[in-house]
Amino acid sequence: MATRKLKNFEFAGLHNTDADNYPVLHCFEDFETPNGFAFVVSGSEMVVGGDQQVCRVINERVRYYLDNEVLDDPREAVGNALVYANGFVYEKSRKEEDFVAEKASVLCALQQEGKVYYAWMGEVSLFLYTGKRRYPLTWPAREEGAYTTVSEQEGNAILFLGVKQLAEPALCEQPLVPVDGDMLFMGTGNIWESLRDKAFCTLMADSMPTHTKLQRLMKLAGEIRSEQPAAAHLIAFYNLDQTERSFAAGKTPAGPSVRERIQAKIEERPKNKNVRNVLIALGVLILVYMFYDLFLNNPNKPVNVRIPEEAAAVVDSLSLVDVTQTGEVQAAATLPDDVEYIVRSGDTWGSIYRNYEVCSWFIKNHPANAGKFDPDENPVYNTKLIIPVRYSGSKSRNPSYYQEFTIEKVGSSCQNVNESFKRRFDRKVSASD
């Protein structure tokens, strides 16, 4: 496990094999280069002789290229780095009998000036999580070269690294431009495709540290395919200048729609003009009947009903009720009272948030809670905490102002909550009074 926090992003890297017990077949690496900050995950399915496995060689070659070749176009730089690594591994496999790059895969992402450029070969996964949905950004790289459209891939085998001397990796159509709160997941192996969107998004939405999320993802994927080696990076973005997100989603080619399949079957049937004419005539009759029934036919004839003069006089004598004199039409917005909560065994900020939907920052900074947390500012068992549900995003607990504390406003990890956020809300409440 490796973690690091920088100006605009933090990240964690992890592989699912203990190097002390078994050779690491899939590995990760992150480093600063003249071309930008690079993230690499790679792997192979066969143990090779010697101290250095295939994934280590791939990562070293990618780093060597990005450290020594500075290009104006980051997209070209990340693509060329994989071309260089592919050629190196191919020659090493040809010259060294024990070095076999069996199904070698690599994914490299290059972050420069708030944009992410990426290229890949083999079986890898790259997902963008926006706080609500997971978007795949890659597609299977194929043997006939670099592809920027999905339609060009059909009919070709997956292109693994080191199989051919000259091979071009798949490249992003356009750079990913993330916004604050976005997270980028990159992993090797085919175990990540087995993670369903709901399970992935539920885990990512939890307010836990980045490295903990990555550990949980690795554990969840391992429960499905425990025998598969894998390596992964998870990158969380913040303090970015841009406010508009842009990316090119990678998807497998979609088959014909249901409507298109039905239409094709209809066109394949022999045409019968008599049947068609009967159907047209039947449709016209139905339309004529509907028009007649709706606009012309009236089964109930109108009847004149005379209101007695005495009843009309009583109605005229009644005065209209002035709504403004009967009290307020709409109840004024109210703030709910604070709630007492006794910390239970195993409680975390995440479990407390799921119960009250109040960000931990408000609880930690409540005057009544001063000195009630451990050195890491986590809740302490059997301690009474005051939960200010006036800052809750739950409609049932904070019916008047819950919309001020939705995930979109406080952030997927409550990263937008601070003193200025609280002051703005307090001023809004004071103004409405």
Average pLDDT over residues 415-429: 88
Average pLDDT over residues 162-168: 86
Is residue 178 very low, low, confident or very high in pLDDT (cuts 50, 70, 90)? very high
CB of 3 closer than 8 Å to CB of 15 = no
Q: Which residue has the higher pLDDT, 189 or 262?
A: 189
The pLDDT, as a whole number, for residue 117 is 96
pLDDT tens, position by position, 132-146? 899 999 877 665 444
The pLDDT, as a whole number, for residue 327 is 45
Collapsed DSSP state (helix, strand, coil) of residue 278? helix
pLDDT over 90 percentage in the chain: 33
User: Does the pLDDT value for residue 44 go beyond 80?
Assistant: yes
Domain ranges of the chain: 2-237, 339-432
The pLDDT, as a whole number, for residue 5 is 87
The pLDDT, as a whole number, for residue 154 is 42
Collapsed DSSP state (helix, strand, coil) of residue 369? helix
Average pLDDT over residues 166-186: 92
Sequential DSSP letters for 192-256: GGGS-HHHHHHHHHS---HHHHHHHHHHHHHHH-TT---EEEEEEE-S-S--S-B-----PPP--
Whether the pTM exceeds 0.85: the reply is no
Third-level CATH fold of 2-237: Phosphatase 2c; domain 1 (3.60.40)
Q: Which residue has the higher pLDDT, 93 or 317?
A: 93
Average pLDDT over residues 46-67: 85
pLDDT over 70 percentage in the chain: 80
Q: Which residue has the higher pLDDT, 16 or 264?
A: 16
Which segment of 158-162, 225-229, 284-288, 370-374 scores lowest on mean pLDDT? 225-229
User: Does the pLDDT value for residue 401 go beyond 80?
Assistant: yes
Collapsed DSSP state (helix, strand, coil) of residue 281? helix
* Mean of per-residue pLDDT scores for the chain: 82
Average pLDDT over residues 115-127: 92
CB of 30 closer than 8 Å to CB of 13 = yes
Q: How many CB atoms within 10 Å of residue 380?
A: 11
